Structure 1
Amino acid sequence: MKIIIAGGSGFIGQKLTELLKEDHEIIILTRKGERSAGKIKYVKWLEEGSLPEKEIGKADAVINLAGVSINDGRWTQHHQKQIYESRMTATEELLRMVEALSEKPSVFINASAIGIYPPSRHTVYTEKSTEVADNFLGHTVYDWESKAARMMEHGIRTVFMRFGVVLGNEGGALPLIALPYRLFMGGTVGSGEQWVSWIHVTDVVRAICFAIENHQISGPVNVTAPNPKVMKDFGRTIGAVLHRPHWFPVPAFLMKVVLGKKSSLVLEGQHVIPKVLMEEGFEFKFTTLESALGDLFQ
């Protein structure tokens, strides 16, 4: 297969490229001047005058991971605008590219997030849940999915991969969450009752491949492990795996002072179940937080 990846140089994109390049031809859309090598070809996009579709010719699958990371920087009004607009711009350009292709891809995989669901301690969300959070992340994800859904107008199977808290050493939230424990200062963040619907980055990229290969999958797909944890248990597990104490509580007001609006990422959460992946027979490599952290911290 020829697979196009937008955002291929990011945290998840790099892991995905490593997995796919063994069996597929990969085209990574980039603003940088990387040199193509082997089965990986870099094509310029989102630059004045760039027409990547002319170099692509045709593609079997398109994966959209592009966008400014929500984990980087403080959520100032300017940064929130960058997060939002980067996703809208990239998706709009992919729509233009696909419209220009004489032969359309069979599947479009669009990154998304469980942040579309409202924070709740009691509600359990599946892909059939229709509630949308009335906050920055909720509005961003809703608009992002709505724009990406226009791919279906071309008869393209479209999947919205709603990522949970992705655990990995090279990016995501884990390095920041684990740092206090490494310094012997770890403890419960906020109330500790907020849900953390986590997933190992290896299972994220495997789930993307699974969605490409299984033609019956379309629409929202929750990309989380089947066993979420509340924050106090999440922290205790980090401490246990790292052989560090879990004793230094971090009050909510302090997180708000340090992180501003971005503190909602750790102070609020959703209890999310990956019902579609489970029903379709996806086999998680890491079903427990202990196994995931054991792999990452070894």
Structure 2
Amino acid sequence: MKIAITGGTGFVGTKLTNELVHAGHYVYILTRNPDQHYDTDKTTYVGWLQEKYTPWDELPTLDAIVNLAGESLHSGRWTNAKKKSIMDSRIEATEGVLELIRHLKTPPEVLINASAVGFYGQSKTKTFTEETEKPGNDFLANVVVEWEKRANKARDLSVRPVFVRFGIILGENGALPKMTIPYKLMIGGNLGSGDQWMSWIHVDDVAGLIQFAIQEKKVEGPLNGTAPNPKRNKDFGQTLGKVIGRPHWMPAPSFAIQSVLGEMSVLLLEGQSVIPKKATLHGYEFQYPELESALKAILR
């Protein structure tokens, strides 16, 4: 297959590109700075999101587009300007993908658009699946609603849209290295109450789910990108400490985290239990359904 990826040079994009190339597919990476990269026999860098670039003139007939572009939620305190940047980066990238599709002579069969479990809002008591239609009412939920609303316009272009609502992605990069720092310093423990849910997924399963969604034509709309066994923060931390041989004992109080991070502290102190019901029903088999084996694969 021929697959275009936005955000292809990031943590998830790099992993996905390597997996696709290994499987024999050809990858076109859409980037603002194609001249900073080198093509290979299975990857081509194509400029986009600037007036001087016309990617539709450089691309062949595509089987799929994967949109992973968007500013990181962890890239700084959530000032009003930062929140606007988080929202605008996702809208701009998704609208850019739609514009690309409109210019292509033949549209791709599917658009896989990154999304987030933040759609569901925060809860310590509820469990969410793709059948949960009502979104939360906080900043992250609002971002996801607007993000998916844009991606859903692909239907009008005869393209099957899939919104992969990712949880915490675990790998050698991303959030996990930061999580291990307190444990390596022997001060690991609960964040706040420790009762908040952490819906996680190994990066190998992220790449696997995306490929699954490309090939499984019955999958469309929301698709939860989480492992089937979410953990509460205290259980996640105890497992992490066990895997790296460090104690889990010193809690970080909520007020301290809130004073340092402000509104961004919701990423650490709140959460949601999200189950990948649709992936399971359609036959996807997780490589890492359990947290301990996932952490061992990364950290050992």
TM exceeding 0.5: yes
Q: Give the match for residue 242 of structure 1.
A: 244
Q: Give the match for residue 272 of structure 1.
A: 274
What is the Cα deviation at residue 39 of structure 1?
A: 0.8
What is the Cα deviation at residue 57 of structure 1?
A: 3.4
Q: Give the match for residue 14 of structure 2.
A: 14
Matched, 1:28 2:32: no
Equivalence map 1:124-135=2 (5 Å):
124-135=127-138
2: CA distance between counterparts of 1:189 and 1:174?
A: 15
2: CA distance between counterparts of 1:176 and 1:59?
A: 37
- Check the 8 A contact 1:31/1:45 in 2, yes or no: yes
2: CA distance between counterparts of 1:126 and 1:272?
A: 6
Tell me which of 167, 178, 181 is aligned to 2:180: 178
1: CA distance between counterparts of 2:101 and 2:190?
A: 47
Matched, 1:168 2:171: yes
What is the Cα deviation at residue 260 of structure 1?
A: 1.6
Q: CA RMSD in A?
A: 0.9
Equivalence map 1:3-82=2 (5 Å):
3-22=3-22, 23-32=24-33, 33=35, 34-82=37-85
2: CA distance between counterparts of 1:94 and 1:58?
A: 15
- Check the 8 A contact 1:166/1:200 in 2, yes or no: yes
Q: Which amino acid in structure 2 is aligned with residue 266 of structure 1?
A: L
What is the Cα deviation at residue 47 of structure 1?
A: 1.6
Q: Show CA shifts across 1:218-245 (max 9, x none).
A: 0100010000000011111111111101
Ranges of 4+ aligned residues in structure 1 off by more than 4 Å:
none
TM-score by length of 2: 0.97
Q: Give the match for residue 140 of structure 2.
A: 137
Q: Which amino acid in structure 2 is aligned with residue 58 of structure 1?
A: T
How many residue pairs get aligned? The number is: 297
Secondary structure at the counterpart of residue 5 of structure 1: strand
Q: Show CA shifts across 1:191-220 (max 9, x none).
A: 111000111111111000010011110010
What is the Cα deviation at residue 110 of structure 1?
A: 0.3
Q: Which amino acid in structure 2 is aligned with residue 116 of structure 1?
A: F
What is the Cα deviation at residue 24 of structure 1?
A: 0.7
Q: Show CA shifts across 1:241-267 (max 9, x none).
A: 111011111011111112221110110
Secondary structure at the counterpart of residue 9 of structure 1: coil
Q: Which runs of 5+ in 1 are unaligned?
A: none
What is the Cα deviation at residue 111 of structure 1?
A: 0.3
Q: Percent identity?
A: 47
Q: Give the match for residue 254 of structure 2.
A: 252
- Check the 8 A contact 1:118/1:131 in 2, yes or no: no
Q: Which amino acid in structure 2 is aligned with residue 179 of structure 1?
A: I
Q: Give the match for residue 262 of structure 1.
A: 264
- Check the 8 A contact 1:27/1:42 in 2, yes or no: yes
Q: Which runs of 5+ in 2 are unaligned?
A: none
1: CA distance between counterparts of 2:264 and 2:298?
A: 25
Matched, 1:107 2:126: no
